[in-house]
Structure 1
Amino acid sequence: MSDWLAARGWNAFAFQRNVWRAMAQGHSGLLHATTGAGKTLAVWLGALQAFGKSEAPLMVLWVTPMRALSHDTLLALQDAAGALAPDWTLAARTGDTTSGERASQQRRWPTALVTTPESLSLMLSRADAPDVLKRVRLVVVDEWHELLGSKRGVQLQLALARLRRWSPALMTWGLSATLANLDEARDVLAPEAVLVRGAQDKKIAIDTLLPPRIERFAWGGHMGLTMLPAVVELIESAASSLVFTNTRSQSERWFQALLDARPDWAGLIALHHGSIDAELRRWVEAAMKAGQLKAVVCTASLDLGVDFLPVDQVLQIGSAKGVARLLQRAGRSGHAPGRRSKVTMVPTHSLEIVEASALRAAVQAGRIEPRRPPEAPLDVLVQHLVTVALGGGFRPDELLPEVRTAPSYRRLSDEAWQWALAFVRHGGDSLRAYPDFQRVVPDDEGVWRVPDQRLARRHRSNIGTIVSDAVMSVQFMAGGRIATVEEGFIARLKPGDVFLLGGRALELVRTEGLTAYVRVAKPGRALLPRWNGGQFPISDTLADAMLERLDEAAHGRYPDREMRFVAPLLKLQGEWSALPTPHRLLAEVQTSSDGHHLFLYPFAGRVVHLGLAWLLAWRIGRDTPATFTVAVNDYGMELLSATELDWAARLPGLLAAVDRATLREEVLASINASELARRRFRQIARISGLIFQSHPGEARSQRQLQASASLYFDVFRQHDPGNRLLRQAEEELLSAELDVDSLARTLDRLAALPLDLQRPARTSPLAFPLMVEMLRERVTTESLAQRLTRMLAELEAAAGGGPAPQDVGERLAFGQERDKASPRSRERRRRR
């Protein structure tokens, strides 16, 4: 191995030698090092050194979180294997592997196999799984941070528990670059694993592309295309660039804008996101590696793993919204030991410049968001029981201790275990009469197996925990389709609720399947939040860093070029109102022709702010008749009411912290919890095998899945109210979707802060983007452009500053981030 390294002019890093020593001693471990530091080579050379003289089939499993990465990973492993273990064979086995390739592998298994959690579970369901997989001596989990906090990670925990039963000396190594809770991540990965910290001194240059002038009244929701000339110049200056955006529609718009600005780049720039055909994505990746492309505009589809050594720089359009995401994307450039990674943040509005400064400060301080594993999801356990029953069968008293070695199930109760067994045996109390739910039954020797080959084929076709969100059509009762929105938005509403969409106030009449029927709301009806479309929420870590930056500004300190650039906005905020800080809660009260406004700035992210706004409205409504319109962003929230409220007297009590049980009850009472739980239940029903995404040779539509899941939901609620999957749906709703834990922490924090209630004479710079959010769906784009132009002119005149921007209408037109239609369909709609 030393000769191989020397022939390439490489010297092993200390952390790599630490990994080799640990692997030579048979230890499992978690290797945490910066992106491009040499993690893959560290573990792979350790495997070749430990097992390279053996030629047994299937000794190493390399698990990647994305099947799109399997080909790239395979190429990365083959070079060293060809020189150091020439008798080894390597292959990939994912959802993209053809049936012919699978058959060939099964005739002669490769020495090392690159796979995914889903394909590994599928291998566990083979009747010969114990004979095939007991030879595995090493499992490597790449990008462990991507799996740790999800059900896919729990699925992998259970698979590893099964492999360790067959091979007690199994080594497990995880690779990660962006984790905060390292000890927890290590303990979840493998028992008694070592933690190896790699080189953390990789240079990451983080810069911000500042606009020509500061906008003191910033507003979000546009694409940032005012920065297009500067971005073109940056791309021109480098040999190769990755341009990251946060949404697919934004990537489409930027790709087209770059081509419009530089037609000569046709064929030199490309687009990459999850909706593009896999074959085209692979072509883009290969062309980027070969240095044939000058730039690729992309989304999270290129966040992970793919080794683009030629990339000189990364551009992030808009805020990355999280430290880990920024680091992951920055690492796509300079992706090799000793090379510098470079990322330039391109803000789409002025407040994102504060985010940019806070992101760099958090990176320099080593503050990264933690990932927490789910606690004992029964839908994943139920799926695993059927998988194990197919893979040789199980005895319950022997399997339970094995399951409890998976950290997410350490505290699995005997009652929950017995329920899971009953569920796979006959579907529980309400489904025992139906043969399709008798999926696993004990034979004469007490071994639980799948008795029906039809059920076996159906289960194998649906192994996995990835469930996509459905899109609902919104249309009038009398006909006429208005738009499509995420099902999660409609699920929050009750019949009779009013929401804003497409410039209209609409009243929800009913939902049927994946269609929401509405009518135009009568004037004066209560309004709920407008639909924002899918957006990343700001992370707690970044929000805290922003508050620290604002606290410095409140004391007259502007430590970097970003904060000095945005100083006019922050100084004006301080003059007209005050700046939020970690030590006080800023609230602003204002009256306008629209009504009475409360602006509140908890800096807890849009998900928590939405929950907090609903909770405040519900708490007020218990004793005071009032209607509210709500707007939220990552920094704060607005409550607009037709009647004036004494916020100074009421707000401290309304923000009072309560115990977790009471808060859960209040949150569930403030929303349409039943419909949200129904939506969540469909995902659980799919994972647990109640409903099936597909049968062999047949795919089922989202509408069919929704109807089937709703039927089971209603049956369980009526005839089996203690069903644990119903309880899990509610728990996941509260934890994953409504983020009640973060809401509780936010209330605890706010209750301990003094209230700084300001009554500014004019809309403050921080309130302005919330007011834009409020207005956006209440008037047409043209009318909103006119109103914003007038408001900006008045505010700038009052501030004694520069002219209002002249591109308001253009930016609003660009700002249709929620429009997820394809460019072709948008063009057809424009022509109509």
Structure 2
Amino acid sequence: MSKAVIPHEIEDWFAGRGWTIRRHQRDMFAAAKAGKHGMLVADTGAGKTLAGFLPTLADFCPSEFGADGAPDGLHTLYVSPLKALAHDVQRNLVTPVEEMGLPLRIETRSGDTPSDRKKRQRSKPPNILLTTPESLSLLLSYPDSFDLFRGLKRIVIDEVHAFATGKRGDLLALCLSRLQSIAPDMQRAALSATVADPEAFQAWLAPWGDVDQVALVIGEEGAEPDLEILLPQEERVPWGGHAATWAIPQLYEQIRTNKTTLIFTNTRFLAEFIFQNLWEANDEQLPIGIHHGSLSREARRKVEGAMARGELRALVATASLDLGVDWGDIDCVVQMGAPKGSSRLLQRIGRANHTLDQRSRALLVPGNRFEFLEAIAAKDAVEEGQRDGEDFRDGGLDVLAQHVMACACAAPFDEAALLAEIRSSLPYAGIDQPLWERVLGFVETGGYSLKAYDRFKRITRDKNGTWRLTHPEHAARHRLNAGIIIDSEMLNVRFKNGRSLGRVEERFAASLSPGDTFAFAGTSLEVEQIKDMDVFVRASKKSAMIPSYGGARMPLSTHLADRVRALLDDRAGWGRFPDDVREWLEVQDWRSQMPAPGQLLVESFPHSKRHYTVYYTFEGWNANQSLGMLITRRMEDRGLQPGGFVANDYSLGVWGLQPVTDPRPLLSPDILADEFVDWVQDSHLLRRAFREVAVISGLIERQHPGKRKSGKQVTFSTDLIYDVLRKHEPDHVLLEAAWADARARLTDIGRLADLLERSAEQVNHVELDRVSPLAVPVMVMIGRESVPQGAIDDELLLEAESLAGAAMRVDTPLE
């Protein structure tokens, strides 16, 4: 790449700090000067964010703008998947800007931004605006967006791997196309540390998918991470459970020893649960904080500020902080439970030290034996530099409908011109004319079955063929309800004085009564009153339960699943495992068989007067849940009297009153063509998917001025419409969108299809006289799958020891 001269103000600032501008930072700068978009893949701590902003900083250097004066208006947009990341980037950008004396104003904009500041940002924008995909889409829905963005020079997309392949990525891709239409010379830059297939993201970033327009820059390699797996000092690695509470004493010692420890959990429930356990062990009253997405904005900002100032010794967090946040004083990162993917683990490890040349120290704390294997697999993958990859898919039609409405709110549009703009984004490049007309028809009237209702008539076409809003009030309604992230309905948790602590899910709040106590934000709270969408509380010293959340499970990546399977098959490698784990596998190998790569192991055995079959799929919880539902339906048809099933990421356990002597007919691939369709039609999955696409597309509005619909109200409304459409308009565009979601996201249908295809000829069925060692982790979950993980670990340990006794006993067969 040709050399480009970086202004001396920037060079001098680097030199004054004893730093050198890195090669990949210069390459990103050169790409911008050459008029190209840029895709940077570099390790954590490599200065990716600064690389993305260098062209912007250069434009505000006096040596560049000279007598003409500094650029005016909005110059650069920065888009990140997390609000916390935007605020962190603002803090880190302010320092070089102030020290170089650049005439540059930087602000953030998200759902947390006060309305008066949002209004002012549109009329008097900062030079750099840090925002999220949803807030950017809302900005583009205003008529003044054309003036606001006309002079836009650059957009920087951080942590692009975290959302480009999902619906938030669909929305951002559409926003990029609109921005490029408003500001044709705008340059795009995307940054990531954990992309497995950079070329695919290069195509996503490029207008019209033309990768020749995007310079791909690969950063310098950083120091290898110092990654260790924490094991019980005196006890065995647990058979079941996920909370890893056995590690609390050792974890507390790490906190005492380290300057600052960042502890990641995979769910909000576990964040509260681990925090509570740590606080009970905190005899020295060390300052320990908690951070997750359900806490109030004030609580999150307070914790983020304390971390930035180095005032906390430890912080327990969820994915709300695992992207890009730069706190240099963190000397150790802890992953509680399985990481589920090497890319996610690498991202989290990078929060320690956060410099390219220093080793990041991290501890993996497995909750059970399979998680130990997963931890080994993830550790090996990180050390080998292997990343997980996510495939791109066609863009969501519900997202497209939302974007069309946003465009109509901004100004009347020409149908052909908007379609051309939309097709320039990779997720929607394949939208054909018939599908486009169906989407327009939906936004226009709600579809054939709903066109009689005025409230669904949002846009109309005039005699010149131009589309416009039917009434200005639709713009305000759109802005109140637009968004992609559809959480479960939440109730506010407040003190009587009005101070908000955050939110809990509606279904959890429904289980509460005055006098009940629950732990939240690290505090024990007693319920005083539940009114409308608020839970009023007071502080309490009583013991408390922990809220459960219905958030999506992190799926086990295919890459990591394959590695776990390979570990099981590599008997020579078992020597590096702890004695109890090695014994577990050796007895399994002696009593039954090991799951081999390319093969599906199925075990059948009697237990407690029932017949059990365990399928070792390694395809993740979603796929195993779907397979369990399908298999039990087939068992019912064949008179096998199924009783139920339970699944984890690695296996599926099914039980009934009759034995399964041959599992092959239960696994034939036609199960997807026949039973799957019937099952999804009749299950809650499609209704749930329809609820989400109905909200995203704008068909159902959750928010009205001064009032928000409850989850029950939204469900009632969407279920009514769902039943009408299924009966009278089965080809409705939202039913198609819901099917796409149900198949791809809720059931991991691709992985399930691959599994059934393989198992057609490669099923290894082993009939046993008792439970096998490998089956114990899934068997101990029977009857407890609906209980929040973590709360049941003590019970699991007791039952696991009983089951393990039978599984590990080396004696004659049972009578």
Smaller-chain TM-score bracket: 0.7 to 0.9
Counterpart contact for 2:640–2:656, Cα < 8 Å: no
- Asked if 1:551 corresponds to 2:559, the answer is no
In the TM superposition, residue 324 of structure 1 has moved relative to its aligned partner by: 1.7
Cα deviation code 1:73-103 (max 9, x no counterpart): 2122222233446222221122222122223
Q: Distance in 2 between matches of 1:564 and 1:593?
A: 29
Aligned counterpart, 2:669? 657
Aligned counterpart, 1:252? 272
Aligned counterpart, 2:343? 324
Aligned counterpart, 1:772? 780
- Asked if 1:586 corresponds to 2:627, the answer is no
Residue of structure 2 aligned with 1:644, choices 634, 659, 677: 659
In the TM superposition, residue 229 of structure 1 has moved relative to its aligned partner by: 1.6
Counterpart contact for 1:148–1:371, Cα < 8 Å: no
In the TM superposition, residue 624 of structure 1 has moved relative to its aligned partner by: 3.9
Aligned counterpart, 1:455? 474
Aligned counterpart, 1:824? none
In the TM superposition, residue 50 of structure 1 has moved relative to its aligned partner by: 4.7
In the TM superposition, residue 757 of structure 1 has moved relative to its aligned partner by: 3.0
Counterpart contact for 1:148–1:372, Cα < 8 Å: no
Cα deviation code 1:702-724 (max 9, x no counterpart): 11111121222122223323211
Aligned counterpart, 2:529? none
SS at match of 2:724: helix
Q: Distance in 2 between matches of 1:532 and 1:299?
A: 14
Correspondence list, 1:95-110, <5 A? 95-110=111-126
Cα deviation code 1:279-300 (max 9, x no counterpart): 1111111111211111111111
Counterpart contact for 1:32–1:177, Cα < 8 Å: yes
Q: Distance in 1 between matches of 2:312 and 2:707?
A: 39
Residue of structure 2 aligned with 1:45, choices 26, 49, 54: 54
Alpha carbons of 1:532 and 1:378: their partners in 2 closer, same or farther (altered >3 Å)? Answer: closer
Counterpart contact for 1:55–1:88, Cα < 8 Å: no
In the TM superposition, residue 161 of structure 1 has moved relative to its aligned partner by: 0.5
Instruction: Indicate the larger mover: 440-449 or 13-22.
Output: 440-449
- Asked if 1:404 corresponds to 2:429, the answer is no
Instruction: Indicate the larger mover: 590-599 or 736-745.
Output: 590-599
SS at match of 1:174: strand
Counterpart contact for 1:607–1:738, Cα < 8 Å: yes
Q: Distance in 1 between matches of 2:282 and 2:613?
A: 46
Paired residue type of 1:771: M
SS at match of 1:148: coil
Q: Distance in 1 between matches of 2:460 and 2:304?
A: 47
Aligned counterpart, 1:818? none
Paired residue type of 1:198: G
Correspondence list, 1:558-577, <5 A? 558=574, 560=576, 562=577, 566-577=581-592
Q: Distance in 2 between matches of 1:306 and 1:666?
A: 46
Alpha carbons of 1:739 and 1:11: their partners in 2 closer, same or farther (altered >3 Å)? Answer: same
Counterpart contact for 1:322–1:539, Cα < 8 Å: yes
Aligned counterpart, 2:203? 187
Q: Distance in 2 between matches of 1:367 and 1:664?
A: 35
In the TM superposition, residue 118 of structure 1 has moved relative to its aligned partner by: 1.4
- Asked if 1:635 corresponds to 2:657, the answer is no
Aligned counterpart, 2:733? 724
Alpha carbons of 1:417 and 1:671: their partners in 2 closer, same or farther (altered >3 Å)? Answer: closer
In the TM superposition, residue 364 of structure 1 has moved relative to its aligned partner by: 2.4
In the TM superposition, residue 791 of structure 1 has moved relative to its aligned partner by: 4.0
Q: Distance in 2 between matches of 1:35 and 1:673?
A: 46
Q: Distance in 1 between matches of 2:680 and 2:313?
A: 48
Q: Distance in 1 between matches of 2:665 and 2:803?
A: 34
Cα deviation code 1:317-364 (max 9, x no counterpart): 111121122111111111123222111011122332211111111222
Q: Distance in 2 between matches of 1:151 and 1:784?
A: 37
Counterpart contact for 1:538–1:634, Cα < 8 Å: yes
Paired residue type of 1:635: Y
Paired residue type of 1:652: R
In the TM superposition, residue 61 of structure 1 has moved relative to its aligned partner by: 0.7
Instruction: Indicate the larger mover: 535-544 or 686-695.
Output: 535-544
SS at match of 1:234: helix
In the TM superposition, residue 419 of structure 1 has moved relative to its aligned partner by: 1.4
Q: Distance in 1 between matches of 2:458 and 2:550?
A: 42
Residue of structure 2 aligned with 1:128, choices 128, 135, 144: 144
Q: Distance in 2 between matches of 1:778 and 1:333?
A: 35
Q: Distance in 2 between matches of 1:43 and 1:471?
A: 36
Aligned counterpart, 2:284? 264
SS at match of 1:558: helix
Q: Distance in 2 between matches of 1:244 and 1:379?
A: 33
Q: Distance in 2 between matches of 1:533 and 1:71?
A: 24
Q: Distance in 2 between matches of 1:321 and 1:331?
A: 16
Aligned counterpart, 1:808? none
Counterpart contact for 1:215–1:350, Cα < 8 Å: no
Q: Distance in 2 between matches of 1:163 and 1:484?
A: 38
Q: Distance in 1 between matches of 2:550 and 2:174?
A: 37
Q: Distance in 1 between matches of 2:30 and 2:732?
A: 49
Structure 1: 5+ residue runs without aligned partners? 473-482, 488-530, 801-832
Q: Distance in 1 between matches of 2:784 and 2:684?
A: 27
Counterpart contact for 1:244–1:316, Cα < 8 Å: yes
Q: Distance in 2 between matches of 1:654 and 1:469?
A: 34
Q: Distance in 2 between matches of 1:252 and 1:196?
A: 40
Aligned counterpart, 1:694? 703
Residue of structure 1 aligned with 2:369, choices 345, 350, 353: 350
Alpha carbons of 1:674 and 1:761: their partners in 2 closer, same or farther (altered >3 Å)? Answer: closer
Residue of structure 1 aligned with 2:407, choices 388, 397, 406: 388
Alpha carbons of 1:776 and 1:675: their partners in 2 closer, same or farther (altered >3 Å)? Answer: closer
Q: Distance in 2 between matches of 1:197 and 1:795?
A: 50
Q: Distance in 1 between matches of 2:181 and 2:645?
A: 54
Residue of structure 2 aligned with 1:302, choices 321, 340, 350: 321
Aligned counterpart, 2:495? none
Alpha carbons of 1:295 and 1:799: their partners in 2 closer, same or farther (altered >3 Å)? Answer: farther
Aligned counterpart, 2:246? 226
Paired residue type of 1:194: A
Correspondence list, 1:77-96, <5 A? 77-84=93-100, 86-96=102-112
Q: Distance in 2 between matches of 1:534 and 1:399?
A: 34
Alpha carbons of 1:446 and 1:347: their partners in 2 closer, same or farther (altered >3 Å)? Answer: same
Aligned counterpart, 1:537? 555
Residue of structure 2 aligned with 1:626, choices 630, 633, 641: 641
SS at match of 2:773: coil
In the TM superposition, residue 786 of structure 1 has moved relative to its aligned partner by: 6.4
Paired residue type of 2:607: S
Counterpart contact for 1:376–1:412, Cα < 8 Å: no
Residue of structure 2 aligned with 1:602, choices 597, 600, 617: 617
CA RMSD of aligned residues (A): 2.8
SS at match of 1:766: helix
Structure 2: 5+ residue runs without aligned partners? 1-9, 208-212, 492-504, 510-548
In the TM superposition, residue 222 of structure 1 has moved relative to its aligned partner by: 4.9
SS at match of 1:461: helix
Aligned counterpart, 1:112? 128
Cα deviation code 1:639-694 (max 9, x no counterpart): 212112322xxx23433335xxx624331224564532122111111111111121
Counterpart contact for 2:601–2:615, Cα < 8 Å: yes
Q: Percent identity?
A: 36
Q: Distance in 2 between matches of 1:435 and 1:85?
A: 56
Cα deviation code 1:260-280 (max 9, x no counterpart): 2223224x1111112222211
In the TM superposition, residue 171 of structure 1 has moved relative to its aligned partner by: 0.5
Counterpart contact for 2:489–2:506, Cα < 8 Å: no
Counterpart contact for 2:414–2:467, Cα < 8 Å: yes
Q: Distance in 2 between matches of 1:783 and 1:210?
A: 20
> How many residues align structurally?
735
Cα deviation code 1:122-151 (max 9, x no counterpart): 111111222221111101111111121221
Q: Distance in 2 between matches of 1:160 and 1:784?
A: 49
Paired residue type of 1:228: I
Counterpart contact for 2:341–2:560, Cα < 8 Å: yes
Counterpart contact for 1:614–1:671, Cα < 8 Å: no
Q: Distance in 2 between matches of 1:720 and 1:384?
A: 23
Counterpart contact for 2:443–2:459, Cα < 8 Å: yes
